Amino acid sequence: MVTDYGLIDKVTAYRPEADVHLIRRALELSAEAHAGQRRATGHPYLKHPVEVAEILTQLRMDEATIVAALLHDTLEDTHFTREQIVTEFGEEIAYLVDGVTKIDKLRLINREQAQADSFRKMLVSMARDVRVILIKLADRLHNMRTLAPLPDEKRQRIAQETLEIYAPIANRLGLGWIKVELEDLCLRYLKAEIYFSLVKQVAAGKKVRDEYIQGVRTLVEREIERVNIPAEVVGRSKHMYSIYQKMTSRNLELGQVYDLSGIRIITDTKMHCYALLGIIHSVWQPIPGKFKDYIAVPKSNGYQSLHTTVVCEGGKRVEFQVRTRDMHRVAEEGIAAHWKYKEGGPIDAAGDDAFRWLRQILEWQQEVADGKQFLDALKVDLFSDSVFAYTKNGELLEMPRGSTVLDFAFAIHTELGLHCVGASVDGKLVSPRHVLKNGQTVEVLTSNDQFPSRDWIGFLKTSRARSAVKHWTKQEERRRTIDVGRKVLAREIRRQGHSPEQVLADLPKALAALGVGEEQLYSEVGYGKRSIGEVLAHLLPEARVRPSFKERIMMRIGKRDGAVVIQGEDVMVHLAGCCRPIPGDEIIGHVKRGKGLVVHVSDCSRLEQLDFDPELMVEVVWDAHPSSPHAVPVRVFTRDRTGVLGRVSSAIADAKANISHAQIHTTEDRKACFNLTIEVDHVRHLQRVIRAVERLPDVLEMHRVRGE
Ligand code: MN
């Protein structure tokens, strides 16, 4: 008989009516399918799915989830098929196993894109049945627990992905303990030195801290007894990752983090939570600004509690959390706790108000075509906490922290955003850039003369608003290009000594011959993608068409139609000094007297100043095999600490990029700013360098510098 490592006992403990036979059959099938396979830990493979299932018993999930967890790797790693699972266990379980498999499988194709697509899939399946993501999270948690034997490079990759995606998802779904454990494991593998030194230091002070907290606990218990409110008082400690976060974000030493331990009180009703808060505040002095009422305004993942920090004996600060038993369960189990209320069918997360954010993500994921773009946007939304603001009609809107008036306007309606000139916030006039605070009432002000500009994108926080502005500017640009194309063609006909009205009467013929529509033709001419000479050859076949300045330059480059392929700089081709394009950037060529062809990044602000004369624009593309490295200016902000420049430059060198120029200065708020020029092969190479540098301690931000 196959060992179940105690799994069945754990299921029947919370679900006495569970179909033990079904679970046993899944165990046997999983054992058979994985027979002979071993994990990197050396254990038989079966131990992995069983322990994944065991994690799910801690969330007290149903048999279908447990069975699917036992089978979750069979479709990917064994000869087992979906049909077999349908026959043996039915459609519901096959759907769950298939959902988990699909998320894993996609990664194998092309890392970045596949990863993005797989998360899209994951979110879609979440909305259909949240059990898929619960199994996936349990799988990832067990993989993180057993990460040690893998090669370091792989460990780093998995830990990074976990920290960026899975821990935030666990947080968003309210799975408190899974999030905490994932984050600590990530810290252990991503910043091992820091992690182990923290563990050691925290352990060193633990005895003294425990005794102190025990004293406070006894005191508060005695006070509660007097009023006869049922309450359980427990000590709690902060987890390593949140200590680390606090130290880095506030630039603190461990000794300055006062809330390493705190106290949690669990009671029966909401009323008693507030009563207990009153008792705490009457015994000890609360610290202003530290009281948070997450009962009245729950966090977006459903979390509810009262938080307060008070000054206890000896002037020490202690944080108290007060919540009911139900709130506690939601804090630990999140969506899994909700799921149990609705047992009997798959939970439709999209219809559940506590998970409105999920519905929002799904809504705009349909508007974003590019998977990578979606993933980047998703990361932003997963990481930022929320801010709540009211419309003038009293409707509460949830937005990521740092959202501006303009984000708010777009959240209500795209038209409102496009014409927003500012807002009245709690009766005070503010600009569209104004960052919103919790609880503010916002009345958006618009004007028909107001239109979006590119620099809006710089301060918009929500993906929805950003893509709306991008969409609008794209359309506007096309409209402008068509207009310019129309004017330029007329001008050229006049230059050739003809009347545009007469000549353009023949335009339909020319369009037919060229095989394009009218708008398309004008836009191509406007963009400089199609030469005017080519169009005129159809409109004025008998006339000799004099080559324009641009055509003369193009002939010297040795190109008549199609895009010019850019390898590097030469006599006729120059890379613009304003925007410093590098391979991978979208680019456009500009013909300049006395210079030849100057290549700009296609959204370079200098191009707009050139008035975008299409007659001088040329379509250009990068050579598929870039030959020499390209210089690109970047800026790095760090905390002003000794050795940080050394760490930054060796991280850049490790990422195989050269530093060709460096200039450093410090700012008043004890930050350092490095202006560097580094040499990279491609935009992707630059992104790798940025990621490597931003991962360093004390580094706040690194970005490319353009257009100065
Ligand atoms: Mn697995």
Tell me: pLDDT of 277 over 90: yes
596: CB partners within 8 A, 6+ apart:
553, 556, 557, 571, 572, 573, 574
Catalytic residue among 77, 164, 619, 681: 77
Find the 162 Cα to ligand 1 centroid distance in Å: 14
Find the 188 Cα to ligand 1 centroid distance in Å: 21
For residue 416, count other CB atoms closer than 10 A to its CB.
16
Mean pLDDT of the chain: 83
Tell me: pLDDT of 669 over 80: no
Q: Which residue has the tokens 């390209």?
A: 630
d(CA 661, CA 658): 9
pTM for this predicted structure: 0.55
187: CB partners within 8 A, 6+ apart:
194, 195, 240, 241, 244
Q: Between the CA of residue 686 and those of 631, 658, 696, 702, what are the distances in Å?
A: 10, 11, 16, 11
Tell me: pLDDT of 196 over 50: yes
* 678 closest CA partner among 629, 627, 625: 629
pLDDT tens-digit readout, 214-240: 999 999 999 999 988 999 999 988 899
Q: Between the CA of residue 104 and those of 116, 149, 212, 527, what are the distances in Å?
A: 12, 20, 47, 43
Find the 287 Cα to ligand 1 centroid distance in Å: 46
More confident: 380 or 408:
408
**Which residues lie across from 677 on neighbouring strands?**
633, 661
Quote the distance between the C-alpha of residue 300 and its chain's center: 17
Find the 182 Cα to ligand 1 centroid distance in Å: 15
Find the 73 Cα to ligand 1 centroid distance in Å: 5
3 state SS of 19: coil
506: CB partners within 8 A, 6+ apart:
539
Tell me: pLDDT of 362 over 60: no
* pLDDT tier for residue 3 given thresholds of 50, 70 and 90: confident
379 by Cβ neighbours in 10 Å (0-12 / 13-18 / 19+) ranks as middle
User: 77 catalytic, yes or no?
Assistant: yes
Q: Residues 564, 569, 573, 575: is their CA dihedral positive or negative?
A: positive
d(CA 176, CA 346): 22
User: 519 catalytic, yes or no?
Assistant: no
More confident: 147 or 251:
147
Q: How far apart are the first and last CA of the chain?
A: 72
Quote the distance between the C-alpha of residue 599 and its chain's center: 32
Find the 49 Cα to ligand 1 centroid distance in Å: 6
Q: Between the CA of residue 603 and those of 30, 588, 607, what are the distances in Å?
A: 55, 9, 7
* 209 closest CA partner among 261, 157, 287, 245: 261
Joined together, the tokens standing for residue 72 give: 């979750």
Catalytic residue among 9, 17, 19, 76: 76
Worst-scoring range by mean pLDDT, 197-211, 450-464, 683-697? 450-464
Instruction: Return the pLDDT at 186.
Output: 96
Mean pLDDT of 358-371: 55
Q: Are 706 and 635 in contact (CB under 8 A)?
A: no
d(CA 425, CA 444): 8
> What is the number of alpha carbons within 13 Å of residue 498 lying toward its C-beta?
20
Mean pLDDT of 494-514: 85
pLDDT tens-digit readout, 623-661: 877 667 888 999 998 887 778 888 888 899 888 898 888
Mean pLDDT of 552-580: 77
670: left (phi over 0), alpha (psi -120 to 50) or beta: left
**Which residues lie across from 427 on neighbouring strands?**
none
403: left (phi over 0), alpha (psi -120 to 50) or beta: beta
Find the 44 Cα to ligand 1 centroid distance in Å: 13
d(CA 152, CA 150): 6
Instruction: Return the pLDDT at 344.
Output: 45
Instruction: Return the pLDDT at 422.
Output: 92
d(CA 387, CA 183): 24
Give the type of residue at 312: C
